[in-house]
């Protein structure tokens, strides 16, 4: 960070901020646009939001060079790693908007809804491009505040408001922890910049070790909340269940990608000297997440709650990549996130299609006998469930394989075995869904909506899962390449 | 990753097309048979197999001209040191097999059009036999033990599927299971052999392994197996030979082959006579550079072959099912081939394999034509005088019977004669003596049971039931034309083999693809004997022919017209007759010694292990219930109260903090 004096000079390399600028401007445009159009035309804001994401994706690809570039006096970085995770988040947002098209049609002020999604996206994109705790915190809060509102968007639905309030209160607590941790690290190193903190910690010796560890732990805890790592996961089932289903889909991918991306940056740049300590903490977090996610899901009857625990379990797997603390581990995280994006979006698309004529379509019972009425959706849901369970040859298998291989290579054999064991337990509740679909009798009449984009989403995600499952090499290569900016 | 080691004029595209064409046919008809219906199904598969046949013959001619191909196309598996490529090794041995397989397969494809007409599984049948042809071609064309194993297992699979083709019949499914399970026993040995090859040589490619064999023998590496010290090469060869015994129906693993006759007759001809069951013989010949270095393995091959040749011939004498007679004959003839390989006359073995493929396939197809005519009756006691109704079948089957009996100038004469002579001159002590007496007495029995079956079917008295009689007719052209094509092979292939391909000559046709140590080579000794006019070789040269003719003569006396002799003999030697009729009680022995104990063991595991432990205390009430309980508890923790959630977070942070401070 250069010493900046007032008045600020115009920052160099401003063009790398272009994707973020597009999103910020368009989010505000949509907000205003919504006020001036009649009710029938409000859907246009959804299309505008999708167009914005596509434009941002194109600019992201265009402004990223093989060298990592900084702007805003070193506060913002754009490299392959940031670009790749941004593309994942943009894809998650596009999917989220597509899933919302029918679901949110009846709501008022849907312009606000899409604008909030874009603001959340903006926050995530700031996070992954952060080079220091200040930019990171700015992104985290922008994302979190937008998502709190999104969760409670159906303000007349009790469980939606309740979920939002719980999420907000606990989120504030976690933000407090995060800031507390940052202040400790600032206290011991005198810096916010990741790289400078890293250097300082490497050279400091044991003088301020206790304070450093406290700082590290609180930062980890704050971030762990955002990515629903046990024991900071308690908000997840309630928020997932209460939120409108498209928001559930969005928040189970977008913030997770952003959170893990910035965790990787922090651990690689700022805390290499503390590797031994953060690995022991993460190890327990991973085991707890795997256990809670995979076991508690068995007791759920609501599929959105089940998917919440599923997320916790998957986050446990992703943590294995951080524990490996090796390039293979980080690449495995990116692979996991990429495949997880498609699996989750496909699953939630089908769940949303289940909502019909006054039935929420969220209970496992509602899926009974689907194969006889809609064999196509039934097959897609079956593929998603098998993939989430990690059955070869579907994408989910390679995701799990990559992280487990990485963590075993790093010498944590028992953790790898535990992960495999929990994966076996988890397979039960995924395959139970398939059992409901294929082996049970229809209980309530099915009446699916015929939105073409939703159908396309289901088909596309299913195909991607199968293709990645059969031939994973290209995706894995891209993920390894994306690491160039990080390590 | 294309790596071609040597290639003279052979086109890789052509070579790949030979196995791939039938595979395409199998996949198209297998997946879209419901749409293609009968007509398109057989057109597609027959055309592709015939194309493959034409290409095989083309390759055969090129290889005759001196071309060969050794090379790898793709990498199949890389795992640590194990690097398995997919490639081909095309030489004269391979091309003989390719040609035999494709010609018989093409005939059987055409024959099936008539035989299976109207069957609900019509397309499925064509799909299976085309896929079988693909597997068999992979087996013979491959250049490593793994392609051999792939083909070996794939032909076993299609054999299983085809034996059980009429899966509504219980006997068919039982026979299919039996074939599959008995083959498992053989394949276990085979797999052990391949693993041993990889262990000792570090590679599974034929050429590299063969090159390394002499060094391994020199080094005298041995291993202790069941407290028996055995040299590595002997162990490998014996293990591989166990696989050959299973696949080729050799004693004591022969029991599945007669039962496999439950399958439709075309596959009895294709799989259980001409091609798959000869895979074991092909394997021993292909691996001659290994077997040559192990006297023990060679002796085992001879003994097993001779026992089978003799024993199955005795059983064939009294069987009444037309297909079973031919099936036991197949076992017996395969025994001859193994004897040939064991006495190092591999070329004679392969020669007999080729001629046998034609005349035995012909016998089966002709028998199928008979069965077709008499409304699926297979008992020869309910036939007789059929020559009046089915002249083409009658003539072709007569030619096949002569060929099988070894009457000149038909195919079997040349090849069988060569085997017997080679056995006579090869000096292996008592082993070759026993083998010689077994095979020479087998000649008499072969001629006898073949013509017994033939006379009872076409001559003798007319015992056809009245209701069947109205239906009696010659089979349609799609059935008789393949018979005629194969009859040409049955008549000429022996003569061509001797005259043009010089299969019986020393260092002629198979030179370079089959390896024989000079001190073993029986053909060399035969050549010496031929120029040695000092002593008479009358018996050596003409003995088999005399025995064959006398066998036919005895059969003529007993069965040409209805006589009292058969019943008389059976009544004089009732015990022997029952013993033979019950097939030496092999099935009963296995039932008592193996099947029942295995069933008991299975029941025990089911009762104690599955019901007792998995459904009971260990898994079901143990692990499953405890996980369920854990899930319920975790659910209870999730109270929905914000302060509980916050409490969990705070406890979590301070728990970790304490842990860090204590460990810091």
Helix (H) / strand (E) element for B167: namely none
Q: Binning pLDDT at 50, 70 and 90, where does residue B511 land?
A: confident
Residues 404-433 of A with CB under 8 A from B: 425
Nearest beta carbon to residue B663 from set A217, A225, A280: A280
User: Which region holds residue B167: left if phi is over 0, alpha if psi is between -120 and 50, else beta?
Assistant: alpha
What pLDDT does residue B3 have?
Answer: 44
The 8 Å CB, 24+ separation contacts for B626-633 are B627/A295, B627/A298, B627/A425, B628/A298, B628/A299, B630/A295, B631/A295, B631/A296, B631/A297, B631/A298, B631/A299, B632/A299
Task: Answer whether residue A105 shows pLDDT above 90.
Answer: no
CA-nearest residue of chain A to B634? A296
B522, B425 contact by CB (below 8 A): yes
Give me the mean pLDDT over the B105-130 stretch. Answer: 91
Q: Does B77 touch chain A (CB under 8 A)?
A: no
Nearest beta carbon to residue B627 from set A217, A281, A295: A295
DSSP line for B175-230 = HHHHHHHHHHHHHHHHHHHHHHHHHHHS--BHHHHHHHHHHHHHHT-EEEETTEEE
Nearest beta carbon to residue A296 from set B634, B648, B664: B634
Which residues in B lie closer than 8 A to residue A237 (C-beta atoms)? 638
Q: How far apart are CA B326 and CA B324, in angstroms?
A: 5
What pLDDT does residue B150 have?
Answer: 94
Give me the mean pLDDT over the B327-354 stretch. Answer: 92
Nearest beta carbon to residue A295 from set B630, B659, B660: B630
Q: Inter-chain contact A295–B634, Cβ cutoff 8 Å?
A: yes
What pLDDT does residue A2 have?
Answer: 54
Q: How far apart are CA A423 and CA A415, in angstroms?
A: 12
Q: Does B663 touch chain A (CB under 8 A)?
A: yes
Give me the mean pLDDT over the B350-367 stretch. Answer: 92
ipTM for this model: 0.90
The mean pLDDT of chain B is 88
CA-nearest residue of chain B to A239? B640
Which residues in A lie closer than 8 A to residue B630 (C-beta atoms)? 295
Q: Does B31 touch chain A (CB under 8 A)?
A: no
Residues 610-639 of B with CB under 8 A from A: 627-628, 630-632, 634-635, 638
Nearest beta carbon to residue A209 from set B630, B656, B664: B664
What pLDDT does residue B9 have?
Answer: 67
Q: Inter-chain contact A284–B659, Cβ cutoff 8 Å?
A: yes
Which residues in B lie closer than 8 A to residue A235 (C-beta atoms)? 645
Least confidently predicted of A20-29, A113-122, A285-294, B406-415: B406-415
Q: Binning pLDDT at 50, 70 and 90, where does residue A319 land?
A: very high
Which residues in A lie closer than 8 A to residue B638 (C-beta atoms)? 234, 237-238, 296
Q: Binning pLDDT at 50, 70 and 90, where does residue A368 land?
A: confident
Least confidently predicted of A204-208, B21-25, B295-299, B367-371: A204-208
Give me the mean pLDDT over the B106-129 stretch. Answer: 91
Closest CA of chain A from B43, distance in Å: 34
Give me the mean pLDDT over the B471-482 stretch. Answer: 87
What pLDDT does residue B50 have?
Answer: 95
Q: How far apart are CA B134 and CA B141, in angstroms?
A: 10
Residue from A299, A302, A422 to probe the interface with B (highest B Cβ count within 10 Å): A299
Q: Binning pLDDT at 50, 70 and 90, where does residue A452 land?
A: confident
Give me the mean pLDDT over the B21-31 stretch. Answer: 93
Q: Binning pLDDT at 50, 70 and 90, where does residue B540 land?
A: confident
Q: Inter-chain contact B631–A217, Cβ cutoff 8 Å?
A: no
Return the higher-pLDDT residue of B367 and B428: B367
Q: Does A208 touch chain B (CB under 8 A)?
A: no
Closest CA of chain A from B649, distance in Å: 5
Neighbours of A417 (CB within 10 A): 12
| B206 closest CA partner among B134, B139, B154 | B139
Give me the mean pLDDT over the A420-446 stretch. Answer: 89
What pLDDT does residue A406 have?
Answer: 94
What pLDDT, in 10s, does the model give residues B78-96?
Answer: 887 788 889 999 988 999 9
The structure's pTM equals 0.76
Give me the mean pLDDT over the A375-396 stretch. Answer: 92
What pLDDT does residue B228 have?
Answer: 78
What pLDDT does residue B234 have?
Answer: 92
Which residues in A lie closer than 8 A to residue B632 (C-beta atoms)? 299
CA-nearest residue of chain B to A279? B660
Return the higher-pLDDT residue of B118 and A433: A433
What pLDDT, in 10s, does the model give residues A51-76?
Answer: 999 999 999 999 888 788 888 888 99
Helices marked H in B116-144 — which ranges? Answer: 122-141
Q: Does A166 touch chain B (CB under 8 A)?
A: yes
Q: How far apart are CA A108 and CA B86, in angstroms?
A: 64
**CA angle, residues A382, A384, A389, in degrees to nearest 5:** 95
> Could you tell me which residues are beta bridge partners of residue A359?
A356
What pLDDT does residue B2 have?
Answer: 42
| A352 closest CA partner among A246, A275, A461, A227 | A246
Q: Inter-chain contact B657–A217, Cβ cutoff 8 Å?
A: yes
Give me the mean pLDDT over the B349-376 stretch. Answer: 90
Give me the mean pLDDT over the B560-585 stretch. Answer: 87
Structure-token pair, residue B269: 């001809």
Q: Which residues contact A85 (CB under 8 A, 6 or more apart)?
A: A128, A257, A258, A261, A334, A337, A482
Which residues in B lie closer than 8 A to residue A225 (C-beta atoms)? 649
Task: Answer whether residue B1 shows pLDDT above 80.
Answer: no
The mean pLDDT of chain A is 90
Burial degree of B241 (CB within 10 A; 0-12, 13-18, 19+): buried
Give me the mean pLDDT over the B403-431 stretch. Answer: 88
Which residues in B lie closer than 8 A to residue A170 (C-beta atoms)? 642, 645-646, 649
CA-nearest residue of chain B to A284? B656
Residues 11-30 of B with CB under 8 A from A: none
What pLDDT, in 10s, does the model give residues B580-616?
Answer: 888 889 889 998 998 899 999 999 999 988 888 888 7
Percent of chain B at pLDDT above 70?
A: 97
Q: Does A231 touch chain B (CB under 8 A)?
A: yes
DSSP line for A22-77 = HHHHHHHHHHHHHHHS-GGGTTHHHHHHHHHHHHHHHHHHHH--SS-EEETTTTEE
Residue from A295, A305, A306, A309 to probe the interface with B (highest B Cβ count within 10 Å): A295
Which residues in A lie closer than 8 A to residue B653 (C-beta atoms)? 177, 217-218, 221
Neighbours of B188 (CB within 10 A): 14
Task: Answer whether residue B534 shows pLDDT above 60.
Answer: yes
Task: Answer whether residue A4 shows pLDDT above 80.
Answer: no
Give me the mean pLDDT over the A19-24 stretch. Answer: 95
């Amino acid at each position: 960070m250069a010493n900046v004096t007032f008045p600020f000079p115009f920052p160099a390399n401003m063009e790398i901020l272009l994707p973020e600028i597009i999103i910020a401007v368009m989010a505000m445009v949509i907000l205003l646009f919504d006020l001036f159009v009649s009710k029938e035309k409000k859907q246009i804001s959804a299309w505008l939001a999708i167009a914005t994401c596509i434009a941002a994706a194109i600019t992201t690809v265009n402004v990223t060079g093989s060298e990592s570039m900084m702007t805003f006096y070193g506060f913002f970085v754009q490299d392959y790693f940031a670009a790749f995770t941004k593309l994942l988040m943009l894809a998650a947002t596009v999917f989220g908007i597509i899933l919302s098209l029918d679901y949110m049609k009846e709501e008022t002020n849907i312009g606000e809804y899409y604008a909030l999604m874009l603001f959340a996206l903006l926050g995530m994109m700031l996070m992954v491009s952060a080079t220091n705790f200040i930019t990171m915190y700015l992104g985290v809060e922008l994302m979190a505040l937008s998502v709190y509102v999104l969760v409670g968007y159906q303000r007349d639905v009790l469980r939606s408001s309740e979920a939002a309030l719980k999420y907000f209160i606990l989120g504030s607590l976690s933000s407090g922890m995060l800031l507390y941790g940052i202040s400790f690290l600032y206290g011991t190193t005198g810096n916010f910049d990741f790289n400078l903190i890293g250097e300082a910690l490497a050279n400091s010796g044991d003088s301020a070790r206790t304070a450093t560890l406290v700082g590290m732990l609180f930062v980890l805890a704050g971030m762990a909340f955002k990515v629903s790592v046990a024991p900071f996961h308690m908000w997840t089932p309630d928020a997932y269940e209460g939120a409108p289903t498209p928001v559930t889909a969005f928040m189970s991918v977008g913030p997770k990608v952003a959170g893990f991306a910035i965790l990787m940056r922090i651990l690689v740049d700022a805390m290499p000297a503390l590797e031994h300590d953060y690995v022991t903490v993460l190890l327990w977090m991973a085991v707890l997440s795997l256990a809670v996610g995979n076991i508690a899901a068995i007791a759920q009857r609501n599929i959105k709650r089940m998917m919440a625990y599923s997320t916790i379990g998957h986050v446990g797997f992703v943590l294995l990549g951080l524990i490996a603390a090796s390039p293979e581990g980080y690449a495995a995280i990116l692979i996991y996130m990429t495949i997880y994006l498609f699996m989750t979006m496909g699953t939630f698309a089908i769940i949303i299609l289940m909502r019909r004529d006054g039935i929420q379509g969220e209970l496992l019972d509602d899926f009974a006998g689907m194969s006889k009425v809609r064999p196509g959706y039934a097959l897609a849901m079956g593929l998603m469930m098998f993939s989430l369970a990690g059955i070869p040859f579907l994408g989910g298998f390679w995701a799990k394989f990559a992280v487990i291989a990485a963590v075993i290579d790093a010498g944590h054999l028992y953790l790898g075995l535990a992960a495999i064991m929990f994966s076996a337990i988890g397979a039960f509740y995924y395959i139970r869904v398939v059992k409901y679909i294929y082996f049970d009798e229809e209980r309530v009449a099915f009446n699916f909506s015929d939105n073409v984009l939703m159908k396309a989403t289901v088909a596309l995600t299913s195909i991607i899962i199968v293709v990645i499952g059969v031939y994973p090499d290209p995706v894995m290569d891209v993920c390894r390449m994306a690491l160039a900016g990080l390590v | 990753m294309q790596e071609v080691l040597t290639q003279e004029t052979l086109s890789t595209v052509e070579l790949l097309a030979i196995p791939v064409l039938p595979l395409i046919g199998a996949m198209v008809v297998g997946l879209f048979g419901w749409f293609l219906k009968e007509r398109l199904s057989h057109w597609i598969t027959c055309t592709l197999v015939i194309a493959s046949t034409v290409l095989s013959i083309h390759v055969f001619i090129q290889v005759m001209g001196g071309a060969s191909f050794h090379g790898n196309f793709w990498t199949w598996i890389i795992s640590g040191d194990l690097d398995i490529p997919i490639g081909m090794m095309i030489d004269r041995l391979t091309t003989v097999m390719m040609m035999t397989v494709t010609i018989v397969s093409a005939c059987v494809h055409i024959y099936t059009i008539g035989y299976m007409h109207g069957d609900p599984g019509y397309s499925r049948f064509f799909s299976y036999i085309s896929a079988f042809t693909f597997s068999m071609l992979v087996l013979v064309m491959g250049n490593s033990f793994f392609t051999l194993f792939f083909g070996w297992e794939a032909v076993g699979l299609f054999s299983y599927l085809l034996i059980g083709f009429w899966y509504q019949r219980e006997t068919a499914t039982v026979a299919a299971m039996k074939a599959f399970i008995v083959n498992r026993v053989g394949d276990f040995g085979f797999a052990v052999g391949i693993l041993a090859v990889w262990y000792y040589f570090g590679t599974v490619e034929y050429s590299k392994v063969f090159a390394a064999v002499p060094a391994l023998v020199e080094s005298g590496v041995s291993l202790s197996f069941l407290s028996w010290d055995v040299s590595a090469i002997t162990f490998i060869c014996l293990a591989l030979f166990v696989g050959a015994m299973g696949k080729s129906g050799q004693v004591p693993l022969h029991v599945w082959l007669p039962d496999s006759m439950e399958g439709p007759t075309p596959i009895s001809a294709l799989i259980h006579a001409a091609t798959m069951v000869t895979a074991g013989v092909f394997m021993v010949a292909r691996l001659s550079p290994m077997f040559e270095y192990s006297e023990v393995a060679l002796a085992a091959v001879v003994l097993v072959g001779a026992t089978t040749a003799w024993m199955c011939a005795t059983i064939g004498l009294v069987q009444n099912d037309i297909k079973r007679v031919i099936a036991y004959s197949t076992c017996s003839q395969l025994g001859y081939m193994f004897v040939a390989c064991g006495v190092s006359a591999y070329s004679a073995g392969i020669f007999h394999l080729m001629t046998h493929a034609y005349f035995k396939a012909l016998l089966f197809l002709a028998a199928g034509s008979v069965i077709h005519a008499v409304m699926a009756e297979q008992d020869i006691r309910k036939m007789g005088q059929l020559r009046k109704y089915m002249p083409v079948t009658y003539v072709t089957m007569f030619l096949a019977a002569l060929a099988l009996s070894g009457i000149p100038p038909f195919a079997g004469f040349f090849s069988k004669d060569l085997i017997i002579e080679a056995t006579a001159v090869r000096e292996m002590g008592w082993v070759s003596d026993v083998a010689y007496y077994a095979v020479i007495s087998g000649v008499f029995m072969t001629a006898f049971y073949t013509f017994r079956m033939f006379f009872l079917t076409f001559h003798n008295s007319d015992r056809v039931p009245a209701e069947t009689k109205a239906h009696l007719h010659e089979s349609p052209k799609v059935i008789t034309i393949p018979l005629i094509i194969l009859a040409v092979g049955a008549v000429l292939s022996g003569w061509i083999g001797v005259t043009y391909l010089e299969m019986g000559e020393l260092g002629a046709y198979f030179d370079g693809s089959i390896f024989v140590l000079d001190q073993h080579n029986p053909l060399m000794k035969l050549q010496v004997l031929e120029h040695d006019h000092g002593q008479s070789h009358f018996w050596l040269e003409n003995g088999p022919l005399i025995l064959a003719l006398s066998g036919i003569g005895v059969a003529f006396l007993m069965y040409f017209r209805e006589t009292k002799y058969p019943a008389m003999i059976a009544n004089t030697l009732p015990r022997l007759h029952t013993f033979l009729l019950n097939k030496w009680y092999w099935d009963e022995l296995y039932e008592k010694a193996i099947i029942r104990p295995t069933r008991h063991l299975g029941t025990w595991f089911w009762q104690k292990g599955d019901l007792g432990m998995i459904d009971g205390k260990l898994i079901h009430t143990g692990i499953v219930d405890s996980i369920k309980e854990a899930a319920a508890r975790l659910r209870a923790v999730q109270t929905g109260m914000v302060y509980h959630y916050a409490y969990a977070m705070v406890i979590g942070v301070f728990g970790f903090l304490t842990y860090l401070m204590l460990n810091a």
